Structure 1
Amino acid sequence: MSAISVAQDVLTPVLTKRWLTSDAWTIDTYELLDGYRGLRKAFTATPDELIQLVKDSGLRGRGGAGFPTGLKWSFIPQGDGKPHYLVVNADEGEPGTCKDVPLMMADPHSLIEGIIITCYAIRSNFAAIYIRGEVVHAIRRVQNAVREAYAKGYLGKNILGKGFDLDVVVHAGAGAYICGEETALLDSLEGYRGQPRLKPPFPATNGLYSSPTVVNNVETIASVPFIVLGGADWWKSMGTEKSPGPKIYSISGRVNRPGQYECGLGTTLRQLIELAGGMKEGHQLKFWTPGGSSTPMLTAEHLDVPLDFEGAAAAGSMLGTTAVMVFSDQDDPVYAAYRFTEFYAHESCGKCTPCREGTYWMVRTLHRILAGQGVDKDVDTLLDTSDNIFGRSFCALGDGAVSPIISSIKYFEQDYRDYISGVKAPFFTGAAAELAGAH
């Protein structure tokens, strides 16, 4: 695990500054290292002043969409007579993404402190942390942090004598990728099957239990205490003008030191690979994803694209969750697209026809190509199917499912054609290839 931040060419830990400290997850260690100082400072301001501070900082959601956090908070109606809720999205199911789990393991109290400040700002007295069910170790670590916070008076009644009450519940999901979509997550919290809701209405007015709700990612909420302590100008001194602040990049694949690297937004893949010890011996960069499998693939030509929200979009991709997966000349982009599509076909909730049927048939078409049984029109069929899914599915899962297919054909169409023409030997042979003929 690496914990460094690139800010104005100086390596200084910010979000990860406590990660490598002994017993960093305990409240005693956290308090020794500026823990809950941000909360005390936040309590000297009004809720509206805190919302404005987060707006001024330019903090954008770290869960993939990049929506301005302070603006999202300001959407919560005031004086409506309804309870307000905060829901922390810790479902983290995107392939390649592994930043929130280590954050909850190493520094869970930064999340707890961020939750308290956020709830005070949006006038909420209840928060739920929805954690992916498979990461039992992280669930236990956060549950313990919540117990410690209650014992020290940071949660419960009359927190720090401010007259503010807050209860926090840790909820374990059942491992459904779709529950990373905020409205599916809310349905799951309410005890229903995790499927996305029709929007509008949006969670800001009709969220958990039909009440105003803010849904934010773990890293987003954990950033809040640092902004309160350091101020908006300090936060904006890192990153880029439109994408300020530090960001935890998860880099995996054909690099020597895969792990978490906290850098200022706008860091390039070239810099990340250098931080990760370079490419593995005998491997040359061929393609990569800037934000997990749902973001369009990029190539070696994009080494110097600034990895912020604007830079990734200008290159034809998305920043997403900054899950950087690095593939080399020894990896097959067609097989990578197939494996990603298999994941989305498996995780589709089945609520809408384009996603449910489209991912099913794209997997089979890709399998047929890889088995050497493809025909020329298969490439056009994949693009046509993708076009009928993109923008037409109930939630963003469908859009994410077609991203690896469209981008891999864009950059590596010849690889598809080589499988179809027989220039490349079939990837699937024997019994695996026979499956393709049955589809």
Structure 2
Amino acid sequence: MDLQFLSSTPTDDERAAVDAAVAGQAPSRDLLLPALHAVNDRVGWISQGALNHICRTLEVPPADAYGVASFYSLFSLVERPKRVVHACVDLACKVNGAERLTDALTDAFGPASGKTGDVTWLRSPCLGVCERAPAALVFQAGEPATEQLLAPVASEALVEVATLGPSTVDVPTLVPQQGDGGLRLLKRIGVVDPTSLDDYRATGGYSGLRNALLLGPVGVIREVSDSKLMGRGGAAFPTGRKWDATARQPVRPHYLVCNADESEPGTFKDRVLIEGDPFALVEAMTITAFATGCAKGYLYLRGEYPKALHLLENAIAKARERGFLGENIMGHQGFSFDIEIRRGAGAYICGEETAIFNSIEGFRGEPRSKPPFPVEQGLFGKPTVVNNVETLVNIPLILTEGCEAYARIGTAGSSGSKLFCLSGNVRRPGVYEVPFGATLGELLELAGGVPEGRELRAILLGGAAGGFVRPDELDLKLTMEDARAAGTTLGSGVVLVLDDTADLGGFLLRIAAFFRDESCGQCVPCRIGTVRQEEALHRVVGGKKLSTGGDDLLVLREVGQVMRDSSICGLGQTAWNAIESAIDRLGALEKPLERGKRA
């Protein structure tokens, strides 16, 4: 391949970072994302010289590499200080004081994205710690790079850490229901050492894999199908059917991808599962691989989850050492499987299953048109199983207790238990586990309801891509079928509570800004529609009118419908959902909403 490069050369640090990241591996485009991470971690930004060296090493066209590097928000192609502060301004943090943090950072270090000495700071989308809002992440490039999550954080403490640099202070992973005997998915979290394989096995770990090896691949798929397990990422597709379709494909190899890139504002359940019970995910992926004939698995993890990354690396290494990963797993001749972690770099769209494939393969994380579907042509063009973290950690339960016992929990249409992420104006935010069929009111009661002296105004279900429900709808049963019948969605399990002090206008504007920022730009309806949606919403919230005298609500509806009908992927198709439900269910925009004031 005749590649043309600019004259820039890498520094010694940049060269060393790239060479270490790809050492011992043949040049391949799928190493592009790890190589970009390596430079960004070591130096703090990606120079033209570093990009040149990456392209020469991996034999990737420079224009392609630039397109990939510029796609992700955690990377910078312009020089910046090694210390970067990411201050969350998304939904849960917005209603819990994010503006106080950004004001303090502005006073201390100047405007966002500016350079003040050794520090720059950025307004960040959701960091996935909504139960401890407001939150910030402080990153320090170096060898090694260090990161510190601060949540919840006061303005003074954030400025101090931003000034002095991150430390190794750890934020514990806890669940409000800890000690509840009815917990299943959350039973080990806060109770068992997440770094200990022995502790995991002492609490039943790897009994599911042992049973799977006895049943055989066909038997495992039958158990999962009969359990009626549905995907927990929002689409609710039957897991057994997906596995069976992949297993039947004659083309080899097959791949497994675990989607751990939860970026939906208000979602943090996968992070809690990984940080509190990482071996369960490793075991679940191994069972899935056995059933579907996958020899290689990729765990695509959010780039903003440093603690989860450390714990997963430890769990995979220990599982490999003890014969639970690698060749002839648990002595089962011919069954080999291993897991590679791929870090995301700040792109909500990479939660879409085909965008993950592009990201892993070293392309921009843009969705692909379907068909063909992943079970036929997925990662590297081969049959691929894609499941998210919560879906997968149900698998050892099913293989341990049996499909019939599992299916008895929940309802006929929604089996098992479900994790819900409660945040916002609620007394005890956190991840809660309840059987499908519990009501929204019962879930809210578990979390203590809204703070004393306040009134419930609305609840956002499913995150920015979800919809609102009213205070008089708390008898809604939390099942896939009941949510669908009520014209809403459970989505990824977000339950974001707003009380009567919430700035609903500003909240809706944040949703619109989120989708405008996160649109990958590949298709016109989403690329243009998300911008027009935000513009119209600004006019409505500010009480302004179109210069033509037109109706902005009509504009919002038309733009929203076009995005829903003609966008390539779920981002554009759902970008209008929450705003539409605020209009139709809450009557939120019947009169102008001024930012910072109640409607």
* Alignment partner, residue 347 of structure 1: 518
1:409 Cα offset (Å)? 1.0
2:595 to 405, 427, 434: 427
Q: Deviation of residue 82 (structure 1)? A: 1.2
Q: Quick check: 285-294 or 340-349, which moved more?
A: 285-294
Tell me the amino acid that sits aligned with residue 200 of structure 1. Answer: P
State the SS of the aligned residue for 1:116: helix
After superposition, give the CA deviation of every residue in 1:195-223 in whole Å (9 maximum; x if it has no partner): 00010000001001100000000011111
Structure 1 segments, 4+ long, off by >4 Å, are none
Q: Structure 1 residues 22, 72: CA separation in 2 closer, same or farther (over 3 Å shift)? A: closer
Name the SS of the counterpart of 2:478 in structure 1: coil
What is the identity, as a one-letter code, of the residue corresponding to 1:2?
A: V
Matched, 1:418 2:588: no
Q: After the TM superposition, which of the residue ranges 292-301 and 192-201 deviates more from structure 2?
A: 292-301
CA contact under 8 A between 1:41 and 1:228: conserved in structure 2?
A: yes
Structure 1 residues 29 and 77 mapped into 2: Cα distance closer, same or farther (>3 Å)?
A: closer
Question: Which residue pairs with 1:323 in the alignment?
Answer: 494
8 Å CA contact retained: 1:89, 1:218: yes
Contact 2:301 2:344 in 1 (8 A): yes
1:226 to partner: Cα distance: 0.6
Distance 1:25 1:242 in 2: 36
Find the counterpart in structure 2 of residue 434 from structure 1: none
Counterparts of 1:411 and 1:81, CA distance in 2: 48
2:136 is aligned to: none
| 1:372-387 matches, cutoff 5 A | 372-374=543-545, 377-387=551-561
**Among candidates 440, 455, 462, match of residue 269 of structure 1:** 440
1:255 maps to 2:255:
no
CA distance in 2, matches of 1:120, 1:373: 59
CA–CA separation in structure 2 for the residues paired with 1:172 and 1:331: 35
Residue of structure 1 in register with 2:307 after alignment: 137
Residue 22 of structure 1 and its aligned partner are, at CA, apart by 4.2
The residue number in structure 2 matching 1:74 is: 244
**Does the CA-based 8 Å contact 1:243-1:308 persist in structure 2?**
yes
Is the 2:249–2:383 Cα contact (8 Å) retained in structure 1?
no
- For 1:380, give the aligned amino acid: L
Equivalent AA in structure 1 for residue 590 of structure 2: R
Among 554, 576, 582, the residue aligned to 1:408: 582
1:181 corresponds to 2:355: no
1:64 partner SS: coil
Alignment partners' CA distance in 2, 1:30 and 1:304? 38
Instruction: State the alpha-carbon separation in 2 of the partners of residues 79 and 271 from structure 1.
Output: 44
2:264 aligned to which of 80, 94, 102: 94
Cα deviations by residue, 1:317-367 (Å, 9 ceiling, x for unpaired):
111011111111222433322111110110000000111101111111111
Residue by residue, what CA displacement relative to the aligned partner does 1:71-97 show, whole Å, maximum 9, x if unpaired?
A: 110111536241011100000000001
State whether structure 2 residue 568 is matched by structure 1 residue 398.
no
Q: How does 1:205-244 map to 2 (within 5 A)?
A: 205-244=376-415
Deviation at 1:384, TM superposition (A): 1.2
Paired residue type of 1:252: S
- The one-letter code of the counterpart of 1:403 is N
Partners of 2:493 and 2:438 in 1: CA distance: 11
Partners of 1:411 and 1:117 lie apart in 2 by: 43
Distance 1:344 1:79, change over 3 A: closer
Partner SS, residue 448 of structure 2: coil
SS of 1:325 mapped into structure 2:
strand
TM-superposed CA distance for 1:392, in Å, is 0.9
Distance (Å, rounded) in 2 between the aligned partners of 1:75 and 1:208 = 15
Contact kept, 8 Å, 1:4 with 1:12, in 2: the verdict is no
Question: How far apart, in 1, do the equivalents of 2:196 and 2:536 lie?
Answer: 51
- 11 and 298 in structure 1: CA distance in 2 versus 1, 3 angstrom threshold: farther
Q: 1:79 to 1:397 in 2, by over 3 A?
A: closer
Deviation at 1:156, TM superposition (A): 0.5
SS in 2 for 1:94: coil
Equivalent position of 2:537 in the other structure: 366
Deviation, structure 1 residue 416? 2.1
The letter of the residue matching 1:286 is: R
**What code does the residue aligned with 1:356 have?**
R
Out of 214, 218, 223, the residue aligned to residue 48 of structure 1 is 218
**Secondary structure at 1:287 match in 2:** strand
> What is the aligned partner in structure 2 of residue 2 from structure 1?
175
| 1:356 paired to 2:527 | yes
Q: What secondary structure sits across from 1:45 in the alignment?
A: helix
Distance across 2 between alignment mates of 1:82 and 1:61: 25
TM normalised by structure 1 equals: 0.92
Q: Of 228, 231, 234, which residue of structure 2 is paired with 1:61?
A: 231
Give the CA deviation at 1:11: 5.4
Q: Distance in 2 between matches of 1:11 and 1:302?
A: 29
**Cα distance in 2, alignment partners of residues 88 and 302 from structure 1:** 34
Is the CA contact 1:4–1:11 (under 8 Å) kept in the aligned structure 2? no
Contact 2:533 2:556 in 1 (8 A): yes
For 1:20, give the aligned amino acid: G
Relative to structure 1, the CA distance from residue 43 to residue 282 in structure 2 (aligned partners, 3 Å threshold; closer, same or farther) is same
Which of 494, 499, 507 in structure 2 is aligned with 1:336? 507
Rounded to whole Å, the distance in 1 between the matches of 2:521 and 2:389 is: 27
- Is the contact between residue 86 and residue 214 of structure 1 (CA under 8 Å) also seen in structure 2? yes
Cα distance in 2 for partners of 1:312, 1:79 equals 34
Q: Which amino acid aligns with 2:561?
A: D
Separation in 1 of the partners of 2:369 and 2:249? 26
Residues in 1 aligned to 2:557 and 2:501: alpha-carbon distance in whole angstroms: 25
Which residue type is aligned with residue 188 of structure 2? Answer: R
Aligned residues: CA RMSD: 1.8
TM-score, normalised by the number of residues in structure 2: 0.68
State the structure with bigger RCO (CA 8 A, min sep 6), 1 or 2: 1
- Quote the Cα distance in structure 2 between the aligned partners of 1:400 and 1:204: 24
Deviations 1:387-412 (A, max 9, x none): 11112100010122100111111023
Q: Contact (CA 8 Å) 2:460, 2:467: kept in 1 or not?
A: yes
CA 1:3–1:49: 2 relative to 1, 3 Å: farther
Name the structure 1 match of 2:295.
125
Letter in 2 for 1:255: V
Please say if residues 292 and 325 of structure 1, whose CA atoms lie closer than 8 Å, have aligned partners that are also in contact: yes
Distance change (3 Å), C-alpha of 1:25 and 1:272 = farther
Report which stretch shifted further, 377-386 or 174-183.
377-386
How many residue pairs get aligned? The number is: 420
Say if 2:247 and 2:292, in contact at 8 Å, map to a contact too.
no
For the pair 1:109 / 2:273, whether they are aligned, the reply is: no
CA contact (8 A) 1:3 1:13 kept: no
Paired residue secondary structure (2:585): helix
**In structure 2, C-alpha distance between the alignment counterparts of 1:418 and 1:123, rounded to whole Å:** 57
Deviation at residue 279 of structure 1 after TM alignment: 1.4
Partner Cα distance (1:92, 1:427) in 2: 29
> What secondary structure is seen at the aligned counterpart in 1 of 2:272?
helix
Q: How far is the alpha carbon of 1:3 from its aligned partner?
A: 5.9
Provide the C-alpha distance between the structure 2 equivalents of 1:194 and 1:116, rounded to a whole number of angstroms.
26
| Seq. identity, % | 41
Deviation for aligned residue 1:428: 7.1
AA aligned to 2:482 is G
Query: Any unmatched runs of 5+ in structure 2?
Result: 1-173
2:266 maps to amino acid: G
Q: Describe the superposition over 1:89-138 as per-residue Cα deviations: whole angstroms up to 9, x where unpaired.
A: 00000000110001000000000000111100001111010001111111
1:33 aligns to 2:207 (yes or no): no
